[in-house]
């Protein structure tokens, strides 16, 4: 059993407000003390002066196995990008590639304060191995499409059996890729699988206007209605993107408590548009933040994502009061943890899992601090993270990676793309 006390540190507390000069104790995998007084008895004491302790970020929509495609294809029309570059490259990926790419993504994420991902891809065993080794939390899913549905049904059965006793950091989810790559039968079948195993569902939803137009033409309903009427939302669902929701869609998402994982960078970069997150927040929908893959971002820095989450509604809707720093931090942490079914994560409160990141405020670009939430959302960048901890275990501190052989992983990636 290990234990650690963060001393005299500024924290973003469970109400997402700033508290200065606090003490936060961690024993084994839980937070067991939050208070204004020193408490003795911890193995390690951490000097928190000019540092800020936040809940570790939850990346609510990721494709971590795509790390090798970072910056591979840029400034191309979507169809060329997909069919001439992304799909051909992806068709060459092996289990080993997926495993190392996942580790590379996780290395980046933990160096930037992220502790957990909701991750959709293929080759579940390779993904699971990377999760279990890295110390990161991840809800992983395999993405059902017209092309792979039958094979995936079998793979899912094996996955649920194989990982049913796995460390709780790893959770298996079911994924249906999108309306335009599925059939109603696929949605029904995979929703049944999710119900059967009591797991979450992860989907792409209304990412582009064309998706909505095509769905209406083919099925006479919006993508949200398509999923709903085929039984998808009976299990907790994370819906990525949601750029083109109609009013009725928002009511459905709210009714079923579907989480919207907005991906502001990716939606701009692929020219999809801008998700109206203020409207979703006002409607009471759980809004989390995702990076999408590095092929359309091209990094996994949740600070950058938070800043864009805060800026876009202001600039697009011409109202500087929209989306507060507290709403940004909540979306990047607690909202994502809730979407993953991890109710004891994503907030600094006694009894919760010790999923934490320390931000070093002692830098020119973070000086002075008038209000630490403003500083975190508008001024900080990924590299300001000094320490990242998941389930009480330090994964990263001051440039050192404790669970990932980062030199080996970078070497693999460099060597691999030379053969691409």
92-111 positions binding its own copies, by CB under 8 A: 104-105, 107-108, 111
* Interface segment toward its own copies; rule CB under 8 A; list 175-183, 292-300, 330-338, 349-357: 292-300
Say how many Å lie between the first and final Cα of the chain, rounded.
45
Examine residue 409 and tell whether it contacts its own copies (CB under 8 A): yes
Question: Closest CB to its own copies among 339 and 388?
Answer: 388
Q: Is 61 in the site for its own copies (CB under 8 A)?
A: no
Nearest to 156 by CA among 185, 199, 96: 199
Binding piece for its own copies, criterion CB under 8 A, among 26-34, 141-149, 232-240, 381-389: 381-389
Taking the least distance from each CB to its own copies, the nearer of 195 and 326 is 326
Q: Which of 143, 224, 265, 352 binds its own copies (CB under 8 A)?
A: 265
Length of the chain as a residue count: 420
Of residues 335, 316, 217, the one with CA closest to residue 276: 316
Find all residues with CB under 8 Å of 368, minimum gap 6, and list them: none
Contacting residues for 407 by C-beta, under 8 A, at least 6 apart: none
Nearest approach in angstroms of CB 98 to its own copies is 15
Contact 138, 117 (CB under 8 A): yes
> Which is nearest to 356 in space by CA: 345, 365, 364, 367?
345
Do the Cβ atoms of 136 and 110 come closer than 8 Å?
yes
Residue 52 interacting with its own copies (CB under 8 A): no
Q: Which of 1, 318, 398, 419 binds its own copies (CB under 8 A)?
A: 318
CA distances from 278 to 248, 282, 327 (A): 16, 6, 10
Other CB atoms within 10 Å distance of the CB of residue 43: 11
Nearer to its own copies, 255 or 367 (CB): 367
The footprint of its own copies on this chain (CB under 8 A) covers a number of residues equal to 74
What is the closest distance, in whole angstroms, from the C-beta atom of residue 374 to its own copies in the complex? 4
What is the footprint of its own copies within residues 295-314 (CB under 8 A)? 297-301, 304, 307-308, 310-312, 314
DSSP 320-376: TTSS-HHHHHHHHTHHHHHHTT-TTSSS--TTSB--EEEEE--SGGG-S-S-HHHII
- Whole-number minimum distance, CB 358 to its own copies, in Å? 16
Rounded to whole angstroms, the Cα distance separating 15 from 17 reads 6
Rule CB under 8 A: is residue 321 a binding residue for its own copies?
yes
Out of 145, 183, 283, 317, which residue is the one contacting its own copies (CB under 8 A)? 317
Residue of 18, 272, 293, 388 interacting with its own copies (CB under 8 A): 272
Distance in angstroms (rounded) separating the CA atoms of residues 320 and 81: 35
The smaller minimum CB distance to its own copies, of residues 98 and 159, is found at: 98
- 362 near its own copies, rule: CB under 8 A: yes
Identified binder of its own copies from the candidate list 171, 202, 353, 416, rule CB under 8 A: 416
Please state, in angstroms and rounded to a whole number, the distance separating the CA atoms of residues 237 and 256: 8
Residue in 221, 273, 283, 402 binding its own copies, rule: CB under 8 A = 273
Using CB under 8 A, which residues numbered 162 to 201 contact its own copies?
Answer: none
Q: How many helices (H) and strands (E) does the chain have?
A: 16, 17
Contact with its own copies (CB under 8 A): which of 379, 393, 397, 402?
Answer: 379
Q: Looking at 24-32, 77-85, 146-154, 342-350, which segment touches its own copies (CB under 8 A)?
A: 77-85
Is residue 289 within 8 Å of 332, Cβ to Cβ?
yes
Q: Stretches 172-180, 229-237, 342-350, 382-390: which one binds its own copies (CB under 8 A)?
A: 382-390
Q: Is 417 in the site for its own copies (CB under 8 A)?
A: yes
Residue 107 CB, shortest distance to its own copies, in Å, is 4
């Amino acid at each position: 059993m290990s234990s650690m006390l963060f001393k005299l540190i500024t924290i973003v507390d469970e109400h997402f407000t700033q508290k200065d000069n606090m003490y936060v104790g961690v024993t084994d995998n839980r937070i067991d003390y939050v208070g204004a007084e020193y408490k003795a008895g911890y193995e390690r004491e951490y000097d928190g002066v000019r540092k800020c302790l936040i809940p570790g970020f939850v990346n609510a929509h990721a494709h971590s196995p795509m790390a090798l495609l970072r910056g591979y294809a840029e400034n191309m029309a979507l169809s060329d990008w997909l069919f001439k570059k992304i799909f051909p490259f992806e068709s060459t990926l092996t289990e080993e590639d997926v495993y190392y790419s996942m580790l590379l993504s996780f290395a980046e994420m933990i160096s930037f304060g992220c502790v957990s991902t909701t991750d959709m891809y293929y080759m579940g065993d390779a993904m699971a191995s990377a999760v279990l080794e890295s110390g990161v939390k991840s809800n992983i899913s395999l993405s059902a499409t017209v092309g792979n549905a039958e094979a995936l049904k079998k793979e899912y059965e094996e996955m649920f059996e194989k990982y049913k006793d796995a460390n709780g950091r790893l959770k298996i989810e079911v994924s249906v890729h999108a309306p335009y790559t599925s059939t109603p039968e696929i949605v029904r079948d995979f929703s049944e699988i999710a119900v059967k195993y009591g797991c979450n569902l992860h989907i792409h939803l209304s990412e582009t206007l064309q998706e909505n137009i095509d769905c209406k033409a083919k099925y006479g309903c919006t993508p949200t209605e398509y999923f709903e009427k085929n039984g998808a939302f009976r299990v907790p669902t994370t819906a990525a993107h949601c750029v083109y929701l109609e009013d009725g869609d928002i009511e459905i998402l709210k009714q079923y408590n579907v989480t919207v994982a907005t991906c502001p960078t990716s939606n701009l970069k692929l020219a999809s548009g801008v998700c109206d997150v203020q409207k979703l927040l006002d409607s009471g929908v759980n809004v989390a933040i995702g990076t999408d893959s590095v092929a359309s971002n091209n990094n996994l820095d949740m600070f950058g994502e938070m800043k864009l989450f805060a800026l876009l509604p202001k600039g697009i809707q011409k109202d500087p009061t929209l989306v507060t720093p507290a709403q940004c931090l909540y979306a990047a942490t607690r909202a994502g943890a809730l979407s993953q079914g991890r109710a004891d994560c994503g907030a600094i409160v006694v009894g919760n899992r010790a999923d934490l990141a320390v931000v070093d405020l002692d830098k020119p670009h973070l000086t002075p601090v008038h209000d630490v939430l403003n500083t975190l959302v508008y001024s900080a960048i990924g590299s300001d993270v000094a320490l990242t901890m998941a389930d009480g275990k330090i994964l990263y501190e001051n440039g050192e990676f404790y669970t990932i052989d980062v030199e080996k992983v970078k070497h693999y990636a460099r060597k691999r793309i030379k053969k691409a």
